[in-house]
Structure 1
């Protein structure tokens, strides 16, 4: 069988395990150009050497000075307003905003939140994110939590908090937020042919947060983390359609940098199976493994690839069949794990015609020359799976 060349989609890329200098910059700067073997220290406004040794003492989710200023400027998000008043908030509602440019001379301990306060702030944000009671559009909820979680990461970085289970837990929760948001933003998009800028920004912050999380895993290598293997698997799933990292290093070399326990974990074994299936166009096994083994978060990361590999599989059935023997749609349903009505629509998306026999059976003629990959690659038909169905439903309920 001819080797399948995955079609590029311009997706955001993950990052490998970098030096401590890249960790300090990852929350506020663009994608790092460092590799695992190039441990160079760069000097910029966020360089750790330029920052004073700060230990946060702010007891609130938002420093009092910032909250007072934002009340005066009426710069309060809808979720921060006391009784809906755009110029009034409280210590239980206001959350520190992300600031892109911060001078080290202006930093004080009282402006930064200690680790317990940061965890409390994150719990508050995730409660808003999970809530079903508010009537605001998801994009508005995401925009608020998106900005405030960046501020949490910024406070952690400025205090150089890189050890301990609580710091790791915060980064893991923020990664989950970005993965779930990525899934919801795709589903909520009014235009299935184009993703919103918010979607691309979310992917960018997802990869940066993963970069920082992997650095924390390295720094705390003597400790064990229950979810470490699954979070490393996200990196592979984000690279299914790429033979190399953006730095030029191959994924096979990246695998060699991982601890043996991670390589042999069920999560990493699952992702390596998927990687082989995707690269060689084994669409049947790929869909089967996703349907039977993918975790909730892994499925959310994988969903954009499912349409593409289904289209590849449909193309194989079309080109490999006999012209005088059309393919029953019911058989295609089983191969692509789709509903029959969805298969008919998916065939049209791929430029293929279908027909109904005199007995009322639906078929797809083979050897059609009009096959093409769907233009709206983000359009998705759910996998027919009772196991995965709860993931579709849970995405809009309590997830974290």
Structure 2
């Protein structure tokens, strides 16, 4: 049996299904002859059957190949016969000028000008170079922009203080445009916070702060006050955000910040007994310090009628701070000579001298808001007084009157006795026994700050809270 070549294709042996009954002997003979030739000579290359030639084209190609072999490859030649003398002349002149004068900047071919528009653009560029980029200015005349009010109304994010009266329990409450206040929103990527129609100008910001104090914070019908504080705190934060974006400064900025600082100081005292889940003193302190620092920087330029008041509040709130003391000592002479600033400096000096008795005596001379600023330091001052008395009156036979100690501490008898027991001081009836061996510092966070009637509440007297928060005219 003959073996077929390796690279050959097998030829079908049987007859083609369609060739049954037809004369295909000639085709079979051709196939057999092709197989024999392939077995003898091997497989052959496929041959082209294209027989039509192009003599003229072939002749040109052969001549080009001969010339390229003899002379090397030739550069491509253009076939365009149309010239542009004017354009060529301009290009040559430009090249000559460039070689003579150096490289020139590309020149604009725009010949149509608009004198008025050009003048405005030049003025804007001059102002930007001299004053820097202009800050966005708000154009919103409401306490809450229209777009935000509609969004919050559709998303059911209205506070009950902002709803239409009588719709607090409805499924879809409506917003009252006269009571809705813009809420604080954190900056986010892709969010444009500088749109003028979303920003409130300084006059509207002052109006918003006055509304929050008069209609919300001072309202006796809105309870509990922790909820009132949360609402006012968030809206005041939004006010500061608009001021920062617009870079508000001057008397308008000071008027807004003064009311914000007064409110935060008052809230720090009024909510000092609340649990941490309802009131966080650290957050309040952070925003109070930022507002107070911003306000003091506003006082560096111009004259402000309430500057002495807030310079004193800064010293009392930051009692013992070297930075606050240095700032106060660098104030102009007329500001340092003000009675409020002089009293605050005396309190600060007593604290630095570690003289709690004198500090508490001077604290009785402070007004209501100044006492609110000093209140957070009173607990540490009283413990320091007990420590000094525990060493100075440490004797088995010494008995100190509880009433006299309560007077020095500016506390009631029961409150003074509770503080003594927390510090390890023995209290027997109306007598106190001091011992340096028994005094202990209370663990941090065990004793919560309490309101003080003697040093704070009593001083409000007949003054309305509105007068305290808005300041004397």
Give, in whole Å, the separation in 2 of the partners of 1:147 and 1:78.
14
CA deviation digits over 1:57-89, x for unaligned, max 9? 111111101111111111111111113145420
- Displacement after TM superposition at 1:256 (Å): 4.1
Asked whether 1:206 is paired with 2:276, we answer no
Structure 2: which 5+ residue stretches go unaligned?
A: 1-130
Structure 1: which 5+ residue stretches go unaligned?
A: 1-48, 246-250, 357-361
Give, in whole Å, the separation in 2 of the partners of 1:350 and 1:52.
59
Q: 1:121 to 1:215 in 2, by over 3 A?
A: same
- Displacement after TM superposition at 1:270 (Å): 0.9
Matches within 5 A, 1:71-90: 71-82=153-164, 83-84=167-168, 85=170, 87-90=173-176
Give, in whole Å, the separation in 2 of the partners of 1:208 and 1:169.
16
Matches within 5 A, 1:222-237: 223=303, 225-237=304-316
Asked whether 1:119 is paired with 2:206, we answer yes
Number of the residue aligned with 2:339: 266
1:378 paired residue among 440, 443, 448: 448
Give, in whole Å, the separation in 1 of the partners of 2:177 and 2:454.
47
Asked whether 1:367 is paired with 2:435, we answer yes
Asked whether 1:186 is paired with 2:272, we answer yes
Asked whether 1:332 is paired with 2:405, we answer yes
Number of the residue aligned with 1:61: 143
Give, in whole Å, the separation in 1 of the partners of 2:175 and 2:133.
31
Whether the aligned pair in 2 keeps the contact of 1:97 and 1:147 (CA below 8 Å) is yes
- Of 276-285 and 79-88, more deviation after overlay is shown by 79-88
- Of 271-280 and 318-327, more deviation after overlay is shown by 318-327
1:389 paired residue among 436, 452, 458: 458
Number of the residue aligned with 1:155: 242
CA deviation digits over 1:78-127, x for unaligned, max 9? 11111314542021011111122166855322111122221221111112
Matches within 5 A, 1:6-45: none
More helix by share: 2
RMSD: 2.7
SS at match of 2:431: strand
SS at match of 1:364: strand
Number of the residue aligned with 1:11: none
Q: 1:211 to 1:200 in 2, by over 3 A?
A: same
Q: 1:121 to 1:273 in 2, by over 3 A?
A: same
Give, in whole Å, the separation in 2 of the partners of 1:90 and 1:252.
47
- Of 373-382 and 305-314, more deviation after overlay is shown by 373-382
Q: Higher relative contact order by CA 8 Å / sep ≥ 6: 1 or 2?
A: 1
Give, in whole Å, the separation in 2 of the partners of 1:195 and 1:279.
34
- Displacement after TM superposition at 1:364 (Å): 1.1
Number of the residue aligned with 2:217: 129
Whether the aligned pair in 1 keeps the contact of 2:270 and 2:451 (CA below 8 Å) is no
SS at match of 2:300: helix
Whether the aligned pair in 1 keeps the contact of 2:143 and 2:200 (CA below 8 Å) is yes
Whether the aligned pair in 2 keeps the contact of 1:352 and 1:368 (CA below 8 Å) is no
- Of 279-288 and 81-90, more deviation after overlay is shown by 81-90
Give, in whole Å, the separation in 1 of the partners of 2:193 and 2:421.
60
Give, in whole Å, the separation in 2 of the partners of 1:301 and 1:195.
23
Q: 1:347 to 1:397 in 2, by over 3 A?
A: farther
Whether the aligned pair in 2 keeps the contact of 1:132 and 1:397 (CA below 8 Å) is no
CA deviation digits over 1:241-293, x for unaligned, max 9? 44x44xxxxx55423432222222111111111111112221111111111x2
Asked whether 1:288 is paired with 2:365, we answer no
SS at match of 2:437: coil
SS at match of 2:160: coil
- Displacement after TM superposition at 1:160 (Å): 2.2
Whether the aligned pair in 2 keeps the contact of 1:307 and 1:378 (CA below 8 Å) is no
Q: 1:113 to 1:204 in 2, by over 3 A?
A: same
Give, in whole Å, the separation in 2 of the partners of 1:365 and 1:106.
63
Whether the aligned pair in 1 keeps the contact of 2:391 and 2:436 (CA below 8 Å) is yes
- Displacement after TM superposition at 1:381 (Å): 6.3
- Displacement after TM superposition at 1:316 (Å): 1.8
Give, in whole Å, the separation in 1 of the partners of 2:149 and 2:267.
27
With normalisation by structure 2, the TM-score equals: 0.64
